[in-house]
Amino acid sequence: MKTDDLRKSGKLVFRWGWWFPRQLSMREFRLGALEYEMSEDANGKKIFLHIPSDADLSERSVSHSIGAANSFFEKYYPDFAGADMYCDSWMLAPALREVLPESSNIMNFRRRFEVIRVNEDSKAFLEWIYPDPSVSYTVREKYEPRLWRHLFGIFLLIFLAIRLYSGVIFTKI
């Protein structure tokens, strides 16, 4: 349980309980600011990069994390050393260029990836705006004091076509 959830939704919740088995199974590791999950499919080994809610996305922090991941996989999981790193995130949306300065941490992070796929139906980014999983994505009285969240969500959803973007990292450092 995180006090961040208490601050955001007014309740103590363990929203990430479904995530815990990934770490327990030793397939997912936090190395610096980011998390790295080993995966394998018919096309080979892959590493999925995940962005924790408290991640420092400064250029220095991300570079340090990716460098630590490269060293970690070389030492402990050599079969995954050099595997392509993928990220599925709304933060890879090209439309963010319209609202964020080029110097922003999100833009610096985004530039590391080549977008290879778009999930047009995903509204996953809204979970970061509306933290309570029991709240539908419609405007509710409960959130009227936070009207900016609704306006921001509607703006992103309609005007900027923010969806879930999948990208592969250009460079590993």
Name residues of the chain where pLDDT drops below 70.
1-9, 12-20, 123-166, 170-173
| Three-state DSSP state, 139 | coil
Instruction: Give the CA count within 13 Å in the CB-facing half-sphere of 74.
Output: 8
pLDDT of residue 129: 56
pLDDT, tens digit, 9 for 90 and up, residues 125-139: 666 655 555 555 444
pLDDT, tens digit, 9 for 90 and up, residues 85-94: 999 888 888 8
Domains of the chain plus CATH, in order, are 3-122+164-169 (3.40.630.120)
